[in-house]
Structure 1
Amino acid sequence: MRLGIDLGTTRTIVAACDRGNYPVVGFLSPDGDVLDHFPTITAEHDGQLVHGLEAEQAAREGAPFLRSWKRLMSSSGPNDPVRIGGIELSLLELTTDFLSALGQALLAGSNLPGPPKTLPETVISVPANAHSSQRFTTLEAFRRAGFDVRAMVNEPSAAGIEFAHRYRGRLNARRDHVVVYDLGGGTFDAALVLITGGQHDVIDTAGIQRLGGDDFDEVLFEMALAAASVEREAALPFHDELLLECRTAKEALNPNSRRIVLELAALGEAAPSEPVVLPVADYYDQVRWLVERTVESLREVTAPRGTDPEVDDIKAQAAQAGVAGVYVVGGGSGLPVVPRLLREHFGRRVHRSVYPAAATAIGLAIAAEDDQQLPLTERFTRHLGVFREKDSGQRIAFDTIFPQGTPMPKPGDPPLVATRTYQPVHDIGHFRFVECAALTEGYEPRGDISPHGVIYFPFAPQRRNEALDQATIERLTSGGPRIEERYEVDAAGVVAVTIVDLDDGYAQKYVL
Structure 2
Amino acid sequence: MRFGIDFGTTRTIIAAADRGNYPVLVVDDAEGDTQNYIPTQIALSDGNIVAGWEAVALARVGVPVARSFKRLLAAPGSTAATRVRIGEDHVSLGDAMSAFARHVAAVIRAQELTNEPLQAVVGVPANAHSGQRLLTLDAFSRAGFEVLALVNEPSAAAFEYTHRHPRGINSKRSSVVVFDLGGGTFDTSMVRIAGTDHEIVRTLGINHLGGDDFDEVLATMARRAGGFEHDAMGERAYARLLDEARSAKERIAPQSRRIFLEFGDQDITVPVEDYYTESGSLVDRAIATVGELLGGEVNQTLAGTEIAGIYLVGGASGLPLIPRLLRERFGRRVHRSPHPAASTAIGLAIAADPDSGYALRDRLARGIGVFREHDAGRAVAFDPQIEPTAKPDANGEILVQRRYRAAHNVGWFRFVEYSGLDSAGEPTGDLSPLVDLVMPFDPELQRGDEDLRAIPVERREHGPMIEETVRVDANGITSVRLTDLDTGYVLEATASR
TM (normalized to structure 2)? 0.93
Residue identity matched to 1:365 = A
Task: Tell me how far apart the structure 2 counterparts of residues 462 and 89 of structure 1 sit (CA, whole Å).
Answer: 42
Could you tell me which residue of structure 2 aligns to residue 225 of structure 1? 223
After superposition, residues 187-206 of structure 1 pair within 5 angstroms as 187-206=185-204
Could you tell me which residue of structure 2 aligns to residue 268 of structure 1? none
1:484 aligns with 2:484: no
After superposition, residues 412-491 of structure 1 pair within 5 angstroms as 413=395, 415-464=397-446, 465=448, 468=451, 471-476=454-459, 478-491=461-474
Native 8 Å contact 2:11 2:40 kept in 1:
yes
The DSSP-based 3-state class of the residue aligned with 1:169 is: coil
Residue identity matched to 2:293 = V
- Corresponding pairs, count: 489
Q: CA RMSD in A?
A: 2.3
The runs of 5 or more residues in structure 2 that have no matched partner are: none
Task: Tell me how far apart the structure 2 counterparts of residues 345 and 245 of structure 1 sit (CA, whole Å).
Answer: 31
Task: Tell me how far apart the structure 1 counterparts of residues 485 and 305 of structure 2 sit (CA, whole Å).
Answer: 52
After superposition, residues 22-37 of structure 1 pair within 5 angstroms as 22-37=22-37
Task: Tell me how far apart the structure 1 counterparts of residues 392 and 357 of structure 2 sit (CA, whole Å).
Answer: 14
- The structure where helix makes up a greater share of residues is 1
Task: Tell me how far apart the structure 1 counterparts of residues 426 and 313 of structure 2 sit (CA, whole Å).
Answer: 34
Bigger Cα displacement from structure 2, 181-190 vs 85-94: 85-94
Task: Tell me how far apart the structure 1 counterparts of residues 410 and 12 of structure 2 sit (CA, whole Å).
Answer: 44
Native 8 Å contact 2:257 2:271 kept in 1:
yes
Residue identity matched to 2:289 = S
The DSSP-based 3-state class of the residue aligned with 2:239 is: helix
Query: How far apart are 1:457 and its partner, in Å?
Result: 2.7
1:275 aligns with 2:267: yes
Task: Tell me how far apart the structure 2 counterparts of residues 143 and 291 of structure 1 sit (CA, whole Å).
Answer: 36
Could you tell me which residue of structure 1 aligns to residue 479 of structure 2? 496
Bigger Cα displacement from structure 2, 49-58 vs 480-489: 480-489
Task: Tell me how far apart the structure 1 counterparts of residues 51 and 473 of structure 2 sit (CA, whole Å).
Answer: 30
The DSSP-based 3-state class of the residue aligned with 1:201 is: strand
Query: How far apart are 1:103 and its partner, in Å?
Result: 0.3
- Match 2:179 to one of 181, 200, 204: 181
Query: How far apart are 1:409 and its partner, in Å?
Result: 4.0
Task: Tell me how far apart the structure 2 counterparts of residues 493 and 351 of structure 1 sit (CA, whole Å).
Answer: 29
**Shift in alpha-carbon separation, 1:263–1:419, aligned structure 2, 3 A:** same
Task: Tell me how far apart the structure 1 counterparts of residues 92 and 449 of structure 2 sit (CA, whole Å).
Answer: 26
Task: Tell me how far apart the structure 1 counterparts of residues 58 and 331 of structure 2 sit (CA, whole Å).
Answer: 45
Could you tell me which residue of structure 2 aligns to residue 103 of structure 1? 105
1:5 aligns with 2:1: no
Query: How far apart are 1:263 and its partner, in Å?
Result: 2.9
The DSSP-based 3-state class of the residue aligned with 2:307 is: coil
TM (normalized to structure 1)? 0.90
Could you tell me which residue of structure 2 aligns to residue 309 of structure 1? none
Could you tell me which residue of structure 1 aligns to residue 381 of structure 2? 397
1:263 aligns with 2:265: no
**Shift in alpha-carbon separation, 1:116–1:467, aligned structure 2, 3 A:** farther
**Shift in alpha-carbon separation, 1:320–1:452, aligned structure 2, 3 A:** farther
Query: How far apart are 1:391 and its partner, in Å?
Result: 5.1
Native 8 Å contact 1:440 1:446 kept in 2:
yes
Could you tell me which residue of structure 1 aligns to residue 67 of structure 2? 67
Residue identity matched to 1:142 = F
Task: Tell me how far apart the structure 1 counterparts of residues 485 and 10 of structure 2 sit (CA, whole Å).
Answer: 48
Residue identity matched to 2:287 = V
Task: Tell me how far apart the structure 1 counterparts of residues 439 and 65 of structure 2 sit (CA, whole Å).
Answer: 40
1:302 aligns with 2:286: no
The DSSP-based 3-state class of the residue aligned with 2:177 is: strand
Query: How far apart are 1:499 and its partner, in Å?
Result: 1.2
Query: How far apart are 1:99 and its partner, in Å?
Result: 0.2
Native 8 Å contact 1:171 1:324 kept in 2:
yes
Native 8 Å contact 1:188 1:210 kept in 2:
yes
**Shift in alpha-carbon separation, 1:234–1:470, aligned structure 2, 3 A:** farther
Among all aligned residue pairs of Structure 1 and Structure 2, give the percentage whose two residues are the same amino acid: 46
Query: How far apart are 1:383 and its partner, in Å?
Result: 1.7
- Map Cα deviations across residues 455-482 of structure 1 (whole Å, 9 max, x no partner): 3333334445368585243315554322
Query: How far apart are 1:78 and its partner, in Å?
Result: 2.9
The runs of 5 or more residues in structure 1 that have no matched partner are: 266-272, 305-311, 313-317
Task: Tell me how far apart the structure 2 counterparts of residues 468 and 98 of structure 1 sit (CA, whole Å).
Answer: 39
